[in-house]
């Protein structure tokens, strides 16, 4: 069995795979005093202490160098650690789980799959920011495992110009041309692009600076990352509880950014909707499809997000 670990800043999701098929899953939604290590032990206990042959981790940020699913050697561990400043909430959670499993099972093979990896193909004009190069900042893009999974599932009838929409609590769009990412709405961090459950999405950098002057760097970070988006507009980060204005803003953001993605692909052959909102919110899908209908006929798919399965298949392909 392969244990797939999806560790967030405040949760740990575990899934067991056998030959690419999920056999069991358990989510530990709240971290107790034991932190990630305790949550992992609790989850493994709930799964009945299964015999595990290997573990694979969803790692949010691979930095510049980690662009493929691979075994976690000491060198790869060091590179994931080096990417902590790029994903200060996520990569430490991933490392905590990697280290906890290494302590529990020192000889177990462990793998890392990166949410940034699918976007390694975006061109320079897409990943560059128009700021002095010595600042070393660039766009990376996220939700890559979800987009890779869409491409895999649409084979062998993969549309040439595919607009991927991962609309969950975090939300992004990806322009997928011939199966490769050429542009995406999230940037240096997951905060760019669409409005989300608790994130503001794209916002004028001068407005960010104003917030930083008012609240300090950490206060502004918390406000933009955890207190904005649907939560700020409706009092809940759940789309089902959104006010008409919040729904209108979310829909507007999807259409606005979809236009940019489609222009970069030179047209549109199909949209894939995924994530909790993309899968379940039919009125939102209808509004988006209607707004883009001027582009001519295109196909629409609804594919449940399958990031854990994508990781399991990536690892199976390596072994």
Least gap, CB of 197 to ligand ADP (angstroms): 5
Q: Which of 115, 192, 281, 314 is catalytic?
A: 115
Comparison of 161 and 199: residue with beta carbon closer to ligand ADP: 199
Q: Would you call 218 a catalytic residue per the annotation?
A: no
Comparison of 239 and 313: residue with beta carbon closer to ligand ADP: 239
From residue 218, alpha-carbon distances to 90, 185, 190, 278 in Å are: 16, 24, 17, 31
Comparison of 215 and 226: residue with beta carbon closer to ligand ADP: 226
Distance CA 280, CA 117 (A): 27
Distance CA 193, CA 183 (A): 11
Positive or negative torsion for Cα 135, 136, 141, 143? negative
Least gap, CB of 238 to ligand ADP (angstroms): 4
Token reading at 38: 């305790």
- Cα angle 170, 314, 46 (rounded to 5 degrees) comes to 70
Distance CA 317, CA 231 (A): 40
Query: Is residue 57 within 8 Å of residue 111, measured between CB atoms?
Result: yes
Query: Is residue 261 within 8 Å of residue 175, measured between CB atoms?
Result: yes
**Which residue number places its CB atom closest to ligand ADP?**
276
Q: Which residues bind ligand ADP (CB under 6 A)?
A: 168-170, 197, 237-240, 275-277, 280-281, 305
Comparison of 187 and 275: residue with beta carbon closer to ligand ADP: 275
Least gap, CB of 10 to ligand ADP (angstroms): 11
Comparison of 47 and 305: residue with beta carbon closer to ligand ADP: 305
Least gap, CB of 166 to ligand ADP (angstroms): 8
Query: Is residue 41 within 8 Å of residue 34, measured between CB atoms?
Result: yes
- Which of 124, 248, 123 is CA-nearest to residue 175? 123
Least gap, CB of 263 to ligand ADP (angstroms): 27
Would you name the residues annotated as active-site residues? 115
């Amino acid at each position: 069995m392969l244990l797939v670990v999806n560790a967030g800043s405040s949760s740990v999701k575990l899934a067991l795979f056998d030959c690419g098929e999920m056999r069991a899953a358990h989510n530990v939604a709240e971290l107790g005093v034991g932190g990630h290590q305790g949550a992992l032990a609790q989850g493994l206990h709930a799964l009945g202490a299964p015999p595990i042959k290997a573990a694979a981790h969803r790692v949010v940020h691979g930095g510049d160098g980690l662009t493929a699913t691979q075994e976690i050697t000491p060198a790869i561990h060091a590179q994931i650690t080096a990417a902590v400043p790029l994903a200060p909430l996520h990569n430490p959670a991933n490392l905590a789980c990697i280290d906890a499993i290494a302590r529990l099972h020192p000889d177990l093979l462990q793998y890392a799959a990166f949410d940034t990896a699918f976007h390694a193909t975006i061109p320079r004009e897409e990943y560059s920011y128009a700021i002095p190069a010595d600042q070393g900042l660039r766009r990376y893009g996220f939700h890559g495992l979800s987009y890779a999974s869409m491409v895999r599932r649409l084979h062998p009838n993969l549309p040439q110009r595919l607009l991927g929409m991962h609309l969950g609590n975090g939300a992004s769009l990806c322009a997928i041309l011939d199966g490769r990412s050429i542009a995406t709405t999230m940037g240096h961090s997951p905060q760019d692009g669409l409005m989300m459950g608790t994130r503001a999405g794209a916002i004028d950098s001068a407005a960010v600076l104003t917030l930083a002057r008012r609240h300090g760097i950490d206060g502004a970070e918390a406000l933009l990352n955890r207190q904005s988006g649907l939560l700020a507009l409706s009092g809940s980060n759940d789309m089902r509880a959104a006010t008409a204005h919040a729904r209108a803003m979310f829909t507007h953001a999807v259409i606005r950014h979809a236009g940019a993605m489609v222009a970069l692909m030179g047209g549109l052959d199909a949209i894939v909707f995924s994530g909790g909102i993309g899968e379940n919110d039919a009125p939102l899908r209808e509004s988006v499809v209607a707004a883009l209908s001027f582009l001519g006929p295109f196909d629409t798919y609804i594919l449940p997000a399958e990031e854990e399965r994508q990781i399991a298949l990536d690892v199976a392909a390596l072994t």
